[in-house]
Amino acid sequence: MTRWTAADIPDQTGRTVLITGANSGLGHRSARALAERGARVLIACRNAEKGRAALTEIARTATAQPELVELDLADLASIRKAAEQVRERTGGLDALMNNAGVMATPRRSTQDGFELQIGTNHLGHAALTWLLLPTMRPGARVVTVSSLAHHGGGLDVDDLHFTRRRYHPVRAYSQSKLANLLFALELDRAAKRADHDLISVAAHPGMATTELTRNSSQLRSMPTPVTGVVSIATRLVTQPAEQGALPQLFAATARGVRGGDYFGPSGVGEVRGHPTRARLSKAAQDPRTAQLLWQVTAEHTGIAPPWS
């Protein structure tokens, strides 16, 4: 695989793309790159004010005017409303980039009572994806953004919300990112079983400097001298958000992408570099766990997936 950059994104004229969390970080960089190549980009975010500010910034260099969709992934009612708006406003989607997320937060719950990280990062995106599948055009891509953190632990399908286990912010984040991968791979299998022309893939940014990492509760809770040292070390190790967004942009646009692929940076430890195929943990490749998670997700969200 060559040293692929944003300059290699094919012409996106005529394509419609929805990106969650596109008001900042990796989502914002992805939205800008796709809009500059002619895509109609729908910026889905919770904070309308920040969303409008992102629209203004992206529009400066875009060849197609971006649009705002208000979406709170921690609220199933908001997800249903956003999906309905997308169905009404578009003739169909060519790509859905499940990018938004929360990281290492204190124990909190979503509007529907889910643990915040699994509720936002996985359940919210799964619900949105299932609701939008009928709008996907032939050959459309669903790109789910995971993380190196998916290697950090397992997933308890029977205790997604840490009702029995002791809650730990990093463990909960790792679980949610593993759930992202399990969902993406099961969606690919479901599409193939249904003979549906859909490409479900996943990507991770390596270690990128974004608002997500800067706002992590684990970092913010440290003493000020420690946060300073961590911040300097982070800048030395991580790559800019523009570079971190390349794997998901590759997954969404590059030729030769196949369902079930997983992309990340090419450097040592997949921390930084240009897009290449990434390493899946053994847990992420377990179809039995993926099927159980698929079923539990449907029960939790009250949304029946179009295929099973």
Question: Is 167 a catalytic site residue?
Answer: no
Reported as a single tens digit per residue, the pLDDT across 27-74 is 999 999 999 999 999 999 999 999 999 999 999 999 989 999 999 999
CA distances for 174 relative to 169, 247, 262, angstroms: 9, 19, 17
pLDDT of residue 222: 42
pLDDT of residue 238: 84
pLDDT of residue 219: 45
Q: Which pairing describes strands 275-277 and 262-265: parallel, antiparallel, or unpaired?
A: antiparallel
Catalytic residue among 4, 130, 173, 250: 173
- The number of beta carbons lying within 10 Å of the beta carbon of residue 195 is 7
Please name the residues in contact with 111: beta carbons below 8 A apart, sequence gap of 6 or more.
72, 74, 75, 76, 77, 78
pLDDT of residue 152: 84
What residue type is assigned to position 144 of the chain?
T
pLDDT tens digits, the chain, 308 residues: what are they?
A: 679 999 999 999 999 999 999 999 999 999 999 999 999 999 999 999 999 999 999 999 999 899 999 999 999 999 999 999 999 999 899 999 999 999 999 999 999 999 999 999 999 999 999 999 999 999 999 999 999 999 987 899 999 999 999 999 999 999 999 999 999 999 999 999 999 999 999 999 999 876 655 445 554 554 444 334 334 335 557 899 999 999 999 999 999 999 999 999 999 999 999 999 999 999 999 999 999 999 999 999 999 998 76
Residue where the block lists tokens 């030769």: 256
